[in-house]
């Protein structure tokens, strides 16, 4: 009998990695799940079976040591810095990885470069310009379509960091100047783009040697901490719902095909509709699972996290229709609670309605 496969998940103890660990365990209880993190306090909250504290320096050597001692079969980085790190040393590690090509990862981690790449291939993405300096922001406004507001954001990072709707060059200049003075972010790290006011989507998919294996999507309905943020939004929803919008799934597929006709690994996408209801790509996270991966792992016919593991080991995976979407399932999230996924029919089970409702 073959030994259970051993999977190492980085950033264990964070919300994103604990969500991934729970999804893996739900889909295949036989997996041995090992976690690692450089922060001992966060690591203490890990849902892995075994956990390892990594040093801040000499990380690659320490990671290699954990892989050897734990007899790890597959390594899963789960945020952008770790994906970039592992991508660069993947050939040196004594275990499998299942990541997109290094050039694809690098391109996707620069949101402006990705937007330019997508638009140059005739695919829908917002008109976007980089900021050269504070003095020329008015010129950027003049090049963009006339709208009541525009979108200002940092071209790298996650969680809508530095994102803000702005109505005037003065607002954008003040916002970017604040980030420069208080957070050390240079103005050249910012972009300004057309504002997309429509429905807000997330999607996540798996590819193997250029073949789309599995693709699911959801709509963000409200935002975690959104009312506390100047933008009023976040890439992380507090409430999301599985939906089927073929135009979104088609755009995601076309984008990955343009990025790499032989793509492999996991890709997660952010998209938003313009005023005409046309979905536009705003972000691709190549090589890592979305924070809200439970809505893609615990709905539909196939657990995406476990399917990823099987693809990484070159197991034959035939899911039939890759658009595996069970509509009307809700993801509910809040601070200090475990995210939960509910079928719409079960939302009010055990809840007594108020006679005054």
CATH number of the domain that residue 163 is part of: 3.30.1490.20
Considering the domain architecture, whether residues 292 and 167 belong to the same structural domain is answered as no
- pLDDT score for 8: 98
> Which strands form 200-208's sheet, in the order they lie side by side?
279-286, 265-273, 200-208, 211-223, 237-242, 329-332, 340-343
- Please write the tens of the pLDDT for every residue from 202-259: 999 999 999 999 999 999 999 876 565 666 666 688 899 999 999 999 999 999 999 9
Query: What does pTM read for this prediction?
Result: 0.93
Considering the domain architecture, whether residues 81 and 156 belong to the same structural domain is answered as no
Q: Is 48 within the bounds of a domain?
A: yes
Q: Is 323 within the bounds of a domain?
A: yes
Considering the domain architecture, whether residues 219 and 342 belong to the same structural domain is answered as yes
Angstrom distance (rounded) from CA 129 to CA 191: 6
Q: Are 288 and 298 in contact (CB under 8 A)?
A: no
Q: Is 247 within the bounds of a domain?
A: yes
What domain range is 220 assigned to? 200-346
Q: Is 357 within the bounds of a domain?
A: no
Last residue of a domain, one of 79, 96, 113: 96
- Which whole number is the average pLDDT over 275-282? 97
Among 230, 238, 287, CA closest to 260: 287
Considering the domain architecture, whether residues 10 and 54 belong to the same structural domain is answered as yes
**DSSP string across 303-322:** -HHHHHHHHHTT-----SSS
The number of folded domains in the chain is 3
Lowest mean pLDDT among 14-18, 304-308, 331-335: 331-335
Considering the domain architecture, whether residues 178 and 245 belong to the same structural domain is answered as no
Last residue of a domain, one of 194, 213, 242: 194
In b/e form, how buried is each residue of 295-315, taking b as 16+ CB within 10 angstroms? bbbbbbebbbbbbbbbbbeee
- What are the tokens at 187? 């103005």
- Which whole number is the average pLDDT over 272-298? 96
Q: Is the pLDDT of residue 278 over 90?
A: yes
- pLDDT score for 242: 97
Last residue of a domain, one of 194, 215, 250: 194
Considering the domain architecture, whether residues 209 and 188 belong to the same structural domain is answered as no
Q: Is 260 within the bounds of a domain?
A: yes
Considering the domain architecture, whether residues 238 and 329 belong to the same structural domain is answered as yes
Count CA atoms closer than 13 A to 248's CA, side-chain side: 29
- pLDDT score for 226: 56
Angstrom distance (rounded) from CA 201 to CA 225: 18
Angstrom distance (rounded) from CA 233 to CA 214: 28
Write down the residue that tokens 């997508």 correspond to: 118
CATH number, residue 267: 3.30.470.20
Considering the domain architecture, whether residues 141 and 222 belong to the same structural domain is answered as no
The percentage of the chain sitting over the pLDDT mark of 90, rounded to a whole number, equals: 82
Output helix, strand, coil percentages for the chain, rounded to the nearest 5: 35, 25, 40
Q: Is the pLDDT of residue 345 over 90?
A: no
Mean pLDDT (the chain) is: 93
Q: Are 297 and 305 in contact (CB under 8 A)?
A: yes
Angstrom distance (rounded) from CA 33 to CA 101: 25
Considering the domain architecture, whether residues 209 and 331 belong to the same structural domain is answered as yes
DSSP, res 77 = -
- Which whole number is the average pLDDT over 95-107? 97
Q: Is 352 within the bounds of a domain?
A: no
Considering the domain architecture, whether residues 281 and 308 belong to the same structural domain is answered as yes
Q: Is 227 within the bounds of a domain?
A: yes
Considering the domain architecture, whether residues 14 and 89 belong to the same structural domain is answered as yes
Considering the domain architecture, whether residues 158 and 277 belong to the same structural domain is answered as no
- Please write the tens of the pLDDT for every residue from 125-163: 999 999 999 999 999 999 998 889 999 999 987 766 788
């Amino acid at each position: 009998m073959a030994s259970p496969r051993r999977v190492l998940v980085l950033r264990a103890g964070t919300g994103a990695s604990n969500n991934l660990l729970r999804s893996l365990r739900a889909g295949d209880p036989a997996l041995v799940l090992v976690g690692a993190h450089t922060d001992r306090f966060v690591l203490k909250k890990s849902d892995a079976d075994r956990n390892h504290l990594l040093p801040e320096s000499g990380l690659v050597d320490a990671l290699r040591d954990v892989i050897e001692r734990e007899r790890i079969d597959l390594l899963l980085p789960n945020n952008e810095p770790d994906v970039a790190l592992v991508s660069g040393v993947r050939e040196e590690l004594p275990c499998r990885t299942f990541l997109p090509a290094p050039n694809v990862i690098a391109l996707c981690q620069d949101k402006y470069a990705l937007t330019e790449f997508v638009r140059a291939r005739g695919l829908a993405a917002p008109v976007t310009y980089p900021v050269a300096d504070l003095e020329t922001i008015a010129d950027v406004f003049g090049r963009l379509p006339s709208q009541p507001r525009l979108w200002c954001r940092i071209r790298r990072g996650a969680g809508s960091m530095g994102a803000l709707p702005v109505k005037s060059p003065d607002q954008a200049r003040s916002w970017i100047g604040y980030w420069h003075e208080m957070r050390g972010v240079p103005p050249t790290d910012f972009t300004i783009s057309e504002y997309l006011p429509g429905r807000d989507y997330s999607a996540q998919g798996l590819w193997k040697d250029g073949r789309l294996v599995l693709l699911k999507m959801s709509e963000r309905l409200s935002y975690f901490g959104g009312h506390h943020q100047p933008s009023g939004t976040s890439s992380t929803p507090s409430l999301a719902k599985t939906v089927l919008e073929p135009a979104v799934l088609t755009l995601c597929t076309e984008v990955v095909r343009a990025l790499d006709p032989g793509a492999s690994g996991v890709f997660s996408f952010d998209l938003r509709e313009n005023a005409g209801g046309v979905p536009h790509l705003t972000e691709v996270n190549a090589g890592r699972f979305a924070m809200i991966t439970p809505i893609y792992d615990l709905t539909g016919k196939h657990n995406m996290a476990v399917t990823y593991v099987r693809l990484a080991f070159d197991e034959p995976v035939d899911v039939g229709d890759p658009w595996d979407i069970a509509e009307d399932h809700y993801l509910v999230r809040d601070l200090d609670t475990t995210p939960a996924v509910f079928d719409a029919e079960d939302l009010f089970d055990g809840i007594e309605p108020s006679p005054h409702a």
